[in-house]
């Protein structure tokens, strides 16, 4: 039976304030007041009084401020993300099958017409989120992509984010964040096409706005605080394991990190290293990491690797790192995670920034039923069928009888009328 060497004292659910009434009121205000209400909210929450839509001239001025090495790094990451997304797109194909002689059915893969990509702002400049969302939408074939991000009070969206948005193919960029930005994209304000799908991470107000709007628009997922789990055996390097845990804890004070191991010595070594690693971070980062480690982190000691795998699947982590021997065994055994990082040579930060697979991933256990953002989130799988008259005959007969058993006489008669037309000299036993 697993032993907890460290237990969390908080959960994201226990600390989650109910923001639904606040967000609903803001959405209602925008539904009534339109663009003027959204602009008023931008002034109120973002302290932004400039243009809502970033012009080409403003983009060019901002891009000129981005250092060449930063541009090169963003281009490198974008190329990797695009390559992976294009490979995903190639696996989503049209198909057809002859179900019966003369009855052919198929499916088409059609990209949505417009997408809205939310790029978080605030404490960190989320360059990578711009790349992950916009690039993937464009790889899917979306014709119009709107991107938005909270502007800083004086300067608007940071230049590096604007460069990334432009490089990845954003058609329009909004100097706007929060509920007002989500609503603007969903409602088609400021001359935008209404977004068919909204994607991208954000704070709990943004997540709740997406949740409320789901149905009116599609969304990628309802995201909570980011979380990460490390599986490590006796061969793992405790310094690297500890660094990986701290690196993910800096996301925020309520970002859970978990260590699951079958080696007590490793677990105790990692626990001992954490405080110094946190203290060595810059103050803004260390404050988040300290709270996350203190309140949300857990360290679990297991009997063997089978128990480790089972417990990992119970957590259903957003990010799952394996620093153990026999990586192929872990790849086939583990089933419940957002993204998997196999071996010391890769880490969550690589996936977050530049490796290629998407970093918009299911949190709070949602990996039990969904994966992360992919080109498939921007695609519609639609079906079609076609039949000869002879092929329609057995289908019509079965349809009429099933419909009458269900009590749906109108359905039955749509079958009857075809049988009567196509086979006028025959009598069919189709029920009452």
Active-site residues, by number, are 318-319
CA terminus-to-terminus distance, the chain: 63
> In DSSP terms, which residues pair with 145 in a beta bridge?
115
Pairing of strands 172-175, 95-100: unpaired
Strands (E), 60-182: 95-100, 103-111, 114-118, 144-149, 172-175
Phi-psi region of 141 (alpha: psi -120 to 50; beta: other; left: phi over 0): left
Task: Report the alpha-carbon angle 334-6-302, nearest 5.
Answer: 40
30 phi, psi to nearest 5 deg: -75, -35
CA 216 to chain CA centroid, Å, is 18
Residue (of 175, 180, 193) closest to 58 by Cα position: 175
Q: How far apart are CA 299 and CA 260, in angstroms?
A: 6
């Amino acid at each position: 039976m697993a032993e907890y060497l460290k237990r969390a004292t908080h959960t994201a659910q226990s600390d989650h304030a109910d923001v639904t009434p606040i967000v609903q009121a803001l959405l209602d205000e925008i539904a009534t007041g339109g663009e003027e209400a959204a602009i008023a909210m931008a002034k109120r929450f973002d302290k932004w009084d400039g243009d809502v839509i970033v012009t080409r001239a403003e983009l060019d001025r901002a891009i000129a401020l981005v250092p060449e090495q930063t541009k090169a790094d963003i281009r490198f990451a974008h190329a990797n993300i695009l390559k992976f997304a294009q490979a995903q797109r190639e696996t989503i194909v049209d198909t057809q099958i002859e179900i019966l002689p003369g009855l052919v059915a198929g499916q088409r893969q059609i990209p949505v017409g417009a997408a809205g990509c939310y790029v978080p702002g605030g404490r960190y400049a989320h360059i990578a989120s711009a790349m992950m969302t916009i690039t993937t939408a464009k790889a899917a074939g979306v014709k119009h992509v709107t991107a938005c991000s909270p502007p800083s009070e004086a300067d608007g969206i940071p230049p590096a984010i604007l460069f990334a948005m432009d490089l990845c193919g954003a058609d329009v960029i909004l100097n706007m964040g929060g509920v007002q930005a989500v609503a603007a994209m969903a409602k088609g304000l400021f001359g935008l096409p209404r977004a068919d799908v909204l994607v991208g991470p954000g704070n709990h107000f943004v997540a709740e706005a997406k949740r409320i709007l789901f149905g009116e628009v599609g969304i990628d997922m309802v995201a909570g605080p980011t979380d990460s789990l490390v599986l490590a055996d006796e061969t793992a390097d405790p310094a690297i394991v500890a660094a990986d845990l701290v690196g993910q804890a800096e996301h925020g004070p309520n970002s859970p990190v978990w260590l699951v191991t079958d080696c007590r010595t490793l677990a105790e070594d990692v626990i001992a290293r954490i405080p110094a690693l946190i203290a060595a971070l810059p103050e803004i980062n260390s404050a988040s990491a300290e709270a996350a480690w203190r309140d949300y982190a857990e360290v679990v000691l297991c009997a063997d690797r089978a128990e480790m795998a089972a417990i990992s699947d119970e957590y259903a982590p957003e990010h799952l790192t394996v620093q153990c021997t026999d990586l192929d065994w872990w790849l086939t055994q583990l089933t419940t995670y957002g993204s998997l990082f196999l071996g010391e040579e890769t880490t969550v930060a690589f996936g977050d920034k530049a490796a290629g697979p998407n970093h918009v991933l299911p949190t709070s256990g949602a990996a039990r039923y969904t994966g992360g953002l992919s080109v498939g989130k921007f695609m519609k799988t639609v079906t079609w069928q076609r039949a000869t008259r002879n092929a329609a005959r057995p289908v019509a007969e079965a349809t009429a009888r099933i419909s009458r058993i269900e009590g749906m006489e109108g359905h039955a008669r749509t079958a009857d009328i075809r049988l009567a037309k196509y086979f006028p000299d025959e009598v069919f036993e189709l029920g009452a």
